[in-house]
Homo-oligomer: A and B are copies of this chain.
Amino acid sequence: MKNVKLTIEYEGTNYSGWQNQENAITIQQVIEKAIYDTSKEHTRLIGSGRTDKGVHALGLVANFFTNCTIPGEKFKFVLNNVLPVDITIIESEEVSLDFHARYSALKKRYVYKIYNDKKYRPLFRNYSYHYKHDLDIEKMKEASKYLLGTHDFCSFMGRKTNVYTTIRTIYSIDIEKDDNFIIMTFEGDSFLKNMVRIIVGTLINAGNKKMQVEEMQEILDGKDRRLAGRTAPPQGLYLEKVFYD
């Protein structure tokens, strides 16, 4: 038996997220089917994490165990032959049997794109969050500083989640303006459900002055989801990279 690691890029627009669920087409399910079609083995993909409906990935990592004779590095080609146009395997390789896409992950990088302009742009609609009002990026940067380091991010977690701990570490938050886009890059050990999107929604409140920058500390300390901002929409979010040893 061998353990195969896949690095996957996809557009999330037409899927109900990564994780398998009933009565919905998910990315995990489509790739598992592609593995079955090419290897004739039923496998279970272990993903580095979930992405929600509409969220994109430029480098989600998953692994699976197989007895088939296809070499690890060839899976990329055989799977891409049968995968739909909005999902592609960037890289495949055989890894040690103890590699686990989720537990072995050391760090994740997410990017969130806000299209900050009065005009609606049809071509950007599935790839960024169209936010029409002015945003003060300096205020957003200041507010983001409160989140760096290790904290209980309970206030920034979506509902209906069952996790062992809500303590997470954010290594960096980078906010840049590129033309009419605001590009926000988050690196952390791992992220709770909806965490990046709720942080973005809260930073937007700092940027449009619905809240004072210092309130970020109260939101963290309050440990109550209702204190934070709205969950920013999924189409602006990209899982960019998962880091391993």
Contacts and interface: CB of A to CB of B under 8 A. Distances in A.
Contacts of A125: 85-86
Contact of A123 (B90, B120, B121, B127): B127
A150 to B, nearest CB: 33
Interface string A60-100: 00000000000000000000100001111010000000000
A1 B26 CA distance: 52
A10 interface: yes
A187 interface: no
B86 A9 contact: no
A122 B90 contact: no
A61 B218 CA distance: 51
Interface residues of A, number: 18
Interface centre among A10, A56, A120, A123 (most CB of B within 10 A): A123
A119 interface: yes
A6 to B, nearest CB: 14
A56 to B, nearest CB: 6
A91 to B, nearest CB: 10
Contacts of A120: 80, 88
Contacts of A87: 122
Contacts of A58: 123
B123 A11 contact: yes
Contacts of A90: 119
A153 to B, nearest CB: 28
A123 B56 contact: yes
B80 A122 contact: no
Nearest to A124: B11
11 contacts: A9-B121, A9-B122, A10-B122, A11-B123, A80-B120, A85-B125, A86-B122, A86-B125, A87-B122, A88-B120, A123-B127
Given A85-B122, A85-B125, A87-B122, 12 more contacts: A9-B121, A9-B122, A9-B123, A10-B122, A11-B122, A11-B123, A86-B122, A86-B125, A88-B120, A88-B122, A90-B119, A123-B127
Interface of A: 9-11, 56, 58, 80, 85-88, 90, 119-123, 125, 127
- The list of the 10 closest CB pairs from A to B, nearest first, reads A86-B122, A11-B122, A11-B123, A88-B120, A88-B122, A85-B125, A10-B122, A9-B122, A87-B122, A56-B123
